[in-house]
């Protein structure tokens, strides 16, 4: 594989990662709205730890060290971004 081929492959992977991150954020937004409607706490430490553990188990051993940081960051950003938007919507009819 040439350098250019490898870069093209990385570009394709990056596009897929962004597509999936966008999809994850949309679903996270829905979860946040459901939790707000049901009066549930938006942060669930037990679930976050379970997700990170599951992702570590799915990762290749040489990459496991990154999972906690990457998924922790995704979840913190989701909580921060989604939290700011949803709390502004609480007074609206969400159904």
User: pTM value?
Assistant: 0.75
* Average pLDDT taken over every residue of the chain: 86
Rounded Cα distance, 44 and 4, in Å:
43
Q: Tokens 């159904």, residue?
A: 95
Please say if the pLDDT value at position 58 is more than 90: yes
Residue 88: φ, ψ to 5°: -75, -15
pLDDT grade for 42, boundaries at 50, 70 and 90: confident
Rounded Cα distance, 90 and 36, in Å:
7
Tell me what the mean pLDDT of segment 63-82 comes to.
88
For 25-54, b/e burial (b = at least 16 CB within 10 A) is eeebbeebbeebeeeeeeeeeeeeeebbee
- Measured in whole angstroms, the distance separating CA 52 from the mean position of its chain's CA atoms is 11
């Amino acid at each position: 594989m040439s350098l250019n081929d490898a870069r093209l492959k990385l570009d394709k992977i990056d596009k897929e990662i962004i597509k999936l991150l966008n999809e994850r954020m949309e679903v996270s937004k829905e979860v946040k709205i459901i939790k707000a409607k049901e009066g549930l706490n938006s942060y669930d430490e037990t679930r976050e730890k379970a997700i990170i553990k599951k992702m570590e188990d799915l990762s290749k051993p040489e990459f496991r060290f990154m999972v906690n940081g990457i998924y922790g960051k995704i979840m913190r950003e989701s909580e921060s971004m989604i939290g700011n938007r949803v709390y502004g919507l609480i007074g609206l009819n969400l159904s």
